[in-house]
Structure 1
């Protein structure tokens, strides 16, 4: 695949300008939060949860759909998703005038399922996250639809790179950036952009213990596949790491930290009380890393965090944190 360069990132930013939201960066000095952060640190959070379709994935999906040939647009697109990718692809497909047929777990938050259908996507409900990927391939084979993979691909990583470039543009003197990790589409692109713009920035990923394919891949130096995914952070629940996103991540990321579901729940409560945000578990991962396994390392540093998405219903949120 093509390499991600500063020129490519700038061109992608110009291509999607006006179609996505340049999301804000929040200074994390709120009462109830500031005192919990690493000692003598300054932390900011880029609020990608306010992005089109509710997550950072709008960027890569828009680039992916716009790259289709006329024949490919006529045939439509397909994908596998825990929900956020599905919403973003449904939105991008509708904007481009093409159709989307997406495999999604039947356990996905109803707000995601209903949202996809409202955007005109056809859904195939599957038993689990493993099945959605095989169903995606079946749809592509039988219907000729183009696969827009949830994390593996140049345009998905390039879309995330535009988010990294925005963070760098809006935030001065970052020492450390902490990012959530699902399959690796987000961290691969954001880390590449940030390292191109400032090679001295340290970048860490955060995964749930129950979906730690990238952590295991870092340990073995090859993309790993999980036999089982078990975490409340369904948006981070990829069963596998794959070569392109893994290699970009390995090239630019210092290490991967892991957090428990209970730690994610605690951060969801904290973001709700201190920031007045109702976020999904994946959206709490960056801050959880800063407050937990990476706290000592981040003392005295300028920290960048990402709130990656918040497609969660009130019922699901309360069920997780109540």
Structure 2
């Protein structure tokens, strides 16, 4: 199944998807080039150096009474398999089923009054859409979510239920274009899913909780899509305890951050192909690339089969349901891609939004790839 994709990695169907890149930053392809589009894209990808642990602490002051402080569970099964104590940060139990509300709410609570009154808009078919819809209701900010017509109806209903205006429009590429047009027409603030300092600071609040709940923590392993979550966690940990090492994990079919680090600049992939839709961003953000480059020890890649095998193990032994993206960190630990730390390692389970009727298909994929590899 082949899809066009914008800046966001879209989830919703757990089949492996391929996405072709329809645009570049800062110079979009000719099909969407316009003054309004260029302005909107540039506004959402400015690099700032204002993200630090103090910004993360300020974000927690804003959002802590409205988002969950998610649990940090130990897993003896995983620890025995890996050879080091393993802690699971359960963002799959967060509001809307992923870590995304932390950043979305912080972004909305820092809008100027005029922008709050006018409202916000984004394009997404997955966790970012639901997070912004929820955050709009929590913050009293009108939220508009443009979704492709192929978006899962369960997620469309969820966004409606959270109080957002939902506009279904075309395919992913056409929906992205429409979101920028509406932002211009209605003077709405476009909320980038990851390449925004206030989004990053909000995501970093998870790190404050990890640091407070874990003794003698040695490392944190984080799934990487566009890089907002790992950037926030890395910045926060650098300010709290620089000895704690941060590792990122990407699917091998959507390794935009790993390739960007190898190239020495933020890259855009022509195509991504992974079952982990939540990690299928075809680009590294300008801001997130810089933060990962400075503060992250390494970014490693895992196969789809390894991701799904980890997902199945987490469900069977830890009794936690996570989506493929949420299992990437555990997959890297099980595959031996992360150097064993001298102390506990926390793996972030970034989300749990997976359709139950797709689980047999997912697990069959892992078995099929494992058999062919053997």
Question: Does TM-score exceed 0.5, indicating one fold?
Answer: yes
The farther-off stretch of 220-229 and 97-106 is 97-106
Which digits, 9 at most, give the CA deviation of each residue in 1:85-123, with x for residues without a partner? 111100000122222222334444443222112112233
- Is contact 1:279–1:317 with CA below 8 Å preserved after alignment? no
Match of 2:160 in 1: 117
* CA distance, structure 2, for counterparts of residue 288 and residue 128 of structure 1: 31
Q: Does 1:35 align with 2:77?
A: no
In structure 2, relative to structure 1, the CA distance for the partners of 1:132 and 1:300 (3 Å cut) is farther
The farther-off stretch of 64-73 and 135-144 is 135-144
In structure 2, relative to structure 1, the CA distance for the partners of 1:105 and 1:277 (3 Å cut) is farther
Match of 2:350 in 1: 308
Match of 2:290 in 1: 247
Q: Does 1:288 align with 2:335?
A: no
Q: Does 1:208 align with 2:251?
A: yes
- Is contact 1:76–1:98 with CA below 8 Å preserved after alignment? yes
Length-normalised TM-score, structure 2: 0.80
Match of 2:216 in 1: 173
Match of 2:120 in 1: 77
In structure 2, relative to structure 1, the CA distance for the partners of 1:293 and 1:147 (3 Å cut) is farther
* Alignment partner of 1:4 out of 25, 30, 51: 51
Residue aligned with 1:21, SS: coil
* CA distance, structure 2, for counterparts of residue 94 and residue 145 of structure 1: 16
Residue aligned with 2:301, SS: strand
In structure 2, relative to structure 1, the CA distance for the partners of 1:300 and 1:66 (3 Å cut) is closer
Match of 2:63 in 1: 16
Q: Does 1:236 align with 2:283?
A: no
**TM-superposed deviation, 1:11:** 2.2
Match of 1:321 in 2: 363
User: How many residues are aligned here?
Assistant: 317
**TM-superposed deviation, 1:134:** 3.4
Alignment of 1:97-116 (within 5 A): 97-116=140-159
- Is contact 2:124–2:146 with CA below 8 Å preserved after alignment? yes
Residue aligned with 1:306, SS: strand
Which structure 2 segments of 5+ residues have no match?
1-47, 365-374
**TM-superposed deviation, 1:280:** 0.7
In structure 2, relative to structure 1, the CA distance for the partners of 1:265 and 1:109 (3 Å cut) is farther
**TM-superposed deviation, 1:251:** 0.6
Considering only aligned residues, what root-mean-square deviation do their CA atoms show, in Å?
1.9
Residue aligned with 2:220, SS: strand
**TM-superposed deviation, 1:221:** 1.0
* CA distance, structure 1, for counterparts of residue 166 and residue 81 of structure 2: 42
Residue aligned with 2:65, SS: coil
**TM-superposed deviation, 1:128:** 5.7
In structure 2, relative to structure 1, the CA distance for the partners of 1:270 and 1:140 (3 Å cut) is same
Q: Which has more radius of gyration?
A: 2
**TM-superposed deviation, 1:131:** 5.0
- Is contact 1:259–1:293 with CA below 8 Å preserved after alignment? no
Length-normalised TM-score, structure 1: 0.92
In structure 2, relative to structure 1, the CA distance for the partners of 1:229 and 1:135 (3 Å cut) is farther
Residue aligned with 2:103, SS: helix
Match of 2:31 in 1: none
Which structure 1 segments of 5+ residues have no match?
none
In structure 2, relative to structure 1, the CA distance for the partners of 1:265 and 1:85 (3 Å cut) is same
